[in-house]
Amino acid sequence: MLLNKGQLTDWLNQLMQAYQVFAPIKEGDYFCFKQINSGDQATLNYTNSKVPPKEVLFPRSEKLFCYRCENDGVQLTEQIDESKKIIVGLRPCDAKSFLLLDGVFKSDKYHDPYYLTRRNNTVLVGLGCNQPASTCFCTSLGGGPFATEGLDLLLVDIGDRYVVEVLTDRGRELLAGMELPAADQEAKETARRVKEGAALSTQVNLEGLKSKLDVIFYDPIWDLIHEKCLGCAACTYTCPTCHCFDIVDEAEGNEGCRIRNWDACMFPLFTLHGSGHNPRPTGKERFRQRVMHKFKYFVDNFNAIACVGCGRCIINCPVNLDIREVLAEIQGSEVRSDKQ
Amino acid sequence: MKNPYLPLPMRLVKNFVETEDKLIHTFTLEFLNEEDEKSFQYLPGQFAEVSVFGVGEAPFGIASSPTEPGHLKFSVAKVGVVTTTLHQLPEGTILGVRGPLGNNYPIEEFKGKNLVVIGGGFAFTTLRSLITYILHPDHRGDYGELTVIYGARNPGLLLYKDELAEWEKRSDINLICTIDRPVEGWNGRVGFVPAVTKEVAPSAENAYAVICGPPVMIKFTMPVLEELGFSPERIIMSLENRMKCGIGMCGRCNVGNKYVCKDGPVFTRAQLNQLPNEY
Ligand SMILES: Cc1cc2nc3c(=O)[nH]c(=O)nc-3n(C[C@H](O)[C@H](O)[C@H](O)COP(=O)(O)OP(=O)(O)OC[C@H]3O[C@@H](n4cnc5c(N)ncnc54)[C@H](O)[C@@H]3O)c2cc1C
Ligand code: SF4
Ligand code: SF4
Ligand code: FES
**Is some CB atom of chain A closer than 8 A to the CB atom of B23?**
no
**B251 vs A contacts (CB less than 8 Å):** 104, 242-245, 263, 265, 293
Distance A231 CA to ligand 2 centre (A): 16
Q: Nearest CB to A107: which of B244, B248, B277?
A: B248
| Pair type for strands B207-212 and A20-27 | unpaired
Do B157 and B124 touch, CB atoms closer than 8 A?
no
Q: Nearest CB to A245: which of B3, B79, B250?
A: B250
Q: At what angle do helices B161-169 and B125-135 cross, to 10 degrees?
A: 30
Distance between start and end Cα atoms, chain B: 31
| Confidence (pLDDT) at A72 | 86
| Helices (H), ranges, A198-276 | 209-213, 221-225, 234-237
Are B1 and A263 inside 8 Å of each other by CB? no
Mean pLDDT for the stretch of residues B20-37: 96
Secondary-structure breakdown of chain A: helix, strand, coil percentages, each rounded to the nearest 5: 35, 20, 45
| Confidence (pLDDT) at B122 | 86
Mean pLDDT for the stretch of residues B156-172: 94
Residues linked to residue B150 through DSSP beta bridges, in sequence order? B119, B177
Q: Ligand 4 in contact with B248 (CB < 6 A)?
A: yes
Sign of the CA dihedral with A29 first, then A33, A39, and A44 last: positive
Q: Nearest CB to B257: which of A107, A243, A301?
A: A301
Picking from B272, B145, B168, the residue whose alpha carbon sits closest to that of residue B218 is B272
**The complex's ipTM?**
0.92
Q: How many CA atoms lie within 13 A of A300 on its CB side?
A: 15
Backbone φ and ψ for A8, nearest 5 degrees, come out as -55, -50
Are A111 and B277 inside 8 Å of each other by CB? no
Q: What is the pLDDT of residues B63-92, one digit of tens each?
A: 999 999 999 999 999 999 999 999 999 999
Q: What is the pLDDT of residues A251-310, one digit of tens each?
A: 998 999 999 999 999 999 999 998 889 999 999 999 999 999 999 999 999 999 999 999
Digits of tens for pLDDT over chain A (340 positions)? 999 999 999 999 999 999 999 999 999 989 999 999 999 999 998 888 999 999 999 999 999 999 999 888 999 999 999 999 999 999 999 999 999 999 999 999 999 999 999 999 999 999 999 999 999 999 999 999 999 999 999 999 999 999 999 999 999 999 998 889 999 999 999 999 999 999 888 889 999 999 999 999 999 999 999 999 999 999 999 999 999 999 999 999 899 999 999 999 999 999 999 888 999 999 999 999 999 999 999 999 999 999 999 999 999 999 999 999 999 999 987 655 555 5
Mean pLDDT for the stretch of residues B118-137: 95
Q: Ligand 3 in contact with A230 (CB < 6 A)?
A: yes
Are B56 and A248 inside 8 Å of each other by CB? yes
Q: Which of A305, A308, A315, A327 to mutate to test the pocket of ligand 2 (most atoms within 8 A of CB)?
A: A308
Q: What is the pLDDT of residues B247-270, one digit of tens each?
A: 999 999 999 999 999 999 999 999
Picking from A98, A90, A99, A20, the residue whose alpha carbon sits closest to that of residue A49 is A90
Q: A51-85 in b/e burial notation, b at 16+ Cβ within 10 A?
A: bbbbbbbbbeebbbbbbebeeeebebeeeeeeeeb
Give the pTM.
0.94
Is B261 one of the annotated binding-site residues?
yes
Minimum CA distance residue for ligand 3 atom 1: A317
One-letter identity of residue A39: G
**pLDDT, averaged across chain B:** 95
